[in-house]
Amino acid sequence: MHMTNEASGAGPASAPPALGPGPVNITLTVNGQPHAVTVDPRVTLLDALRERLQLMGTKKGCDRGECGACTVHINGRRVLSCVTLAVMHTGGEISTIEGVAQGDHLHPLQAAFIDHDAFQCGYCTSGQIMSALALLEEIRRGEPSAATADVAVTSIPLSEDEIRERMSGNICRCSCYPQIVASVGQAGAATAAPVGGS
Amino acid sequence: MEPFVYRRATDPQQAIALLAADPQAAFIAGGTELVNWLKEGIAQPRALIDINGLRALATIDAGPAGLRLGALARMSEVAAHPAVRRAYPVIVEALVKSASAQLRNMASMAGNLMQRTRCPYFRADAALPCNKRTPGSGCASLRGRDRHAAIFGWSESCVATHPSDVAVAFAALDAVVHVRGPAGERMIPFEEFYRLPGDRPHDETTLHHGELITAIGVPAAPVAVRSHYLKVRERTSYEFALVSAAVGVDVDGTTIRAARIALGGVAPKPWRLRAAEAALAGRPFTARALRAALDVNAFAEARPRRENAFKVELARRTVVRAMIGLGATA
């Protein structure tokens, strides 16, 4: 545990430390780097990333778990950083859009978004890319979706139907969906080895 | 958001003791519901007890007698589990038709059962009458919009429906909810887990404060192997059900040996059609026999409201179409 107890409350003898109310010191590991931050327990992971760590690539759209703009990976799984608290993730490996490219070398999925012009305003794009990176892994692992005809079958094609269904948690108000679907399909075909980003 | 104390529990007994000792404490697992309630003021706990570290509650066990789905197993983990995919398709189909991939990676199975209604008056940004949210404040839906509301089981205090998909599958499969509290462990049959609203719509389950869901048990059965979840909604993906049906069938030749039917989107809890199931035993596995059983034994009891009479016919057709998906003939 990386937590310290700044405003301790009394509890049962075997109780774990009480964090808050008020500021607590925690360590978040983001893109492989540990960061010490001070947050109130009420602070979402999204706000901690943006406002404490200045990692502005992760976007705040709806702030209620509906739009997907805040998608990050925790321990390799795509999640919404707006509906989880920063204090809950002191032991997790958090990956954000800032960790996807290798220096100036874009990930094939990022390059595909440019090839296909898969954004206009770009506000949802980092969430789209983080979501799609995980999608490609989920399909490789043979995990079913609502577009999978037989949920017992573990060999799943990277079809347009599968991509659309699996990207439904990421909303694009510029409606670049056809280009996003094409980008994910291209990146999936181009990356025979497991994709990075997490 | 009101301030709270955060603690990370390290064993179930400790978590239960912490919750039981504080009437204003709440467990947090996936957080996909609770964090929104904190933001909206729907819930204002003084203490949060994070149970994500209780790894013994996160396992998925499948054996010849059935499944034991740990309370903290994530929706996506259950949906991807080979044994669940092989022998309980209705559970997998209900899960993958719920929420989004990101939310399914976060949301725990027990948290899914504890989610609350999507009634827009309950979730409103402004304070509107809602007996679930503020007991005694009235029901705005009763004289307002009720297209989304229940057609079975509602009361003058509340007309809301329960939003879970997988709970409908659990109801159809005679699941049990395993809970542990200060007084020990008990099992709650799935149909007794949710309360009907009556005059206490805020009191939604038969859980007591201080009890922790540890697992959901699902018995193995032929009706689970041959099962299906059909969800009717206003978008193809990432939307709650207008109406849904979890069905299972055990057929001997062309004759129904046993049928299971539960509906979602139509009642304050998953709505099991036991009388129709009983009427179907020994009948031919045909759409005609299904319609006859449903008309006499299920939808005669429906009490639609002003804007949702369509749900009666939609639910009837949803059940029949789900059974056609399992091989029912005309």
Contact state of A16 with B236 under an 8 Å Cβ cutoff: no
- Residue A154 burial (C-beta neighbours within 10 Å; 0-12, 13-18, 19+): middle
Q: Contact at 8 Å (CB) between A62 and A71? A: no
pLDDT of residue A14: 73
pLDDT of residue B198: 98
Q: Is pLDDT above 70 for A5?
A: no
The ipTM, to two decimals, is 0.96
Domain assignment present for residue B276? The answer is yes
Interchain contact B32–A (C-beta under 8 A):
yes
pLDDT of residue B119: 97
What residue spans define the domains of chain A?
24-99, 108-190
Domain assignment present for residue B78? The answer is no
In this prediction, residue A12 has a pLDDT band, given cuts at 50, 70 and 90, of very low
Closest CA to B15 of B215, B178, B210: B210
Interchain contact B10–A (C-beta under 8 A):
yes
Average confidence (pLDDT) over A121-143: 98
Contact state of A169 with B105 under an 8 Å Cβ cutoff: no
Contact state of A169 with B86 under an 8 Å Cβ cutoff: no
Tell me how far apart the alpha carbons of residues B162 and B176 are, in angstroms, rounded to a whole number: 18
Q: Closest to B5 (Cβ–Cβ): which among A21, A152, A154? A: A21
Q: In what order do the strands lie in the sheet with B25-28?
A: B5-8, B47-50, B25-28
3-state secondary structure at position B256: strand
Closest CA to A88 of A15, A19, A35: A19
pLDDT of residue B133: 95
pLDDT of residue B160: 98
**Pairing between strand B47-50 and B5-8?**
parallel
Interchain contact B55–A (C-beta under 8 A):
no
Interchain contact B89–A (C-beta under 8 A):
yes
Domain assignment present for residue B217? The answer is no
Q: Is pLDDT above 60 for A198?
A: no
Indicate the average pLDDT of chain A. Answer: 91
In this prediction, residue A191 has a pLDDT band, given cuts at 50, 70 and 90, of confident
Interface A-B, measured as beta-carbon pairs within 8 A, has a size of: 139
Q: How far is CA A170 from CA A61, A80, A132, A175, B326, in A?
A: 10, 10, 9, 11, 32
Domain assignment present for residue B9? The answer is yes
Q: Please say whether the structural domain A24-99 has been given the CATH code 3.10.20.30.
A: yes
Fold agreement (A24-99, A108-190): no
Question: Looking at the 3D structure of chain B, how many domains does it have?
Answer: 2
Interchain contact A19–B (C-beta under 8 A):
yes
Q: What is the DSSP letter of B192?
A: G
Q: Is pLDDT above 90 for A11?
A: no
In this prediction, residue A15 has a pLDDT band, given cuts at 50, 70 and 90, of confident
In this prediction, residue A4 has a pLDDT band, given cuts at 50, 70 and 90, of very low
Domain assignment present for residue B264? The answer is yes
**CATH code assigned at B45:** 3.30.43
Q: Closest to B79 (Cβ–Cβ): which among A144, A168, A170? A: A144
Q: Which residues from A are below 8 Å from B5, CB to CB?
A: 9, 18-21, 41
3-state secondary structure at position A170: coil
Domain assignment present for residue B188? The answer is no
Domain assignment present for residue B208? The answer is no
Residues of chain B scoring pLDDT < 50: none
Average confidence (pLDDT) over A105-118: 98
Contact state of B96 with A148 under an 8 Å Cβ cutoff: yes
User: Residue B32 sits in which domain range?
Assistant: 5-50
Domain assignment present for residue B36? The answer is yes
Contact state of A11 with B7 under an 8 Å Cβ cutoff: yes
Tell me which amino acid residue B102 is: Q
pLDDT in tens, A40-84: 999 999 999 999 999 999 999 999 999 999 999 999 999 999 999
- DSSP readout, B14-74? HHHHHHHT-TTEEEESS-TTHHHHHHHTS---SEEEE-TT-GGGG-EEEETTEEEEETT-B
Burial profile A17-46: b = 16 or more Cβ within 10 angstroms, e = fewer:
bbbbbeebebebbbbeeebebebbbbbbbb
pLDDT of residue A192: 53
Provide the shortest C-alpha distance from residue B5 to chain A (in Å).
5
pLDDT of residue A7: 39
Contact state of B5 with A169 under an 8 Å Cβ cutoff: no
pLDDT of residue A1: 38
Suggest the residue from A151, A160, A162 to mutate for an interface test with chain B (most B CBs closer than 10 A): A151
Q: Closest to B36 (Cβ–Cβ): which among A16, A65, A143? A: A65
CATH of A108-190, one of 1.10.10.10, 1.10.150.120, 3.40.50.150, 3.40.50.300: 1.10.150.120
Contact state of B4 with A21 under an 8 Å Cβ cutoff: yes
Provide the shortest C-alpha distance from residue B98 to chain A (in Å).
9
Q: What is the DSSP letter of A97?
A: G
**CATH code assigned at B235:** 3.30.390.50
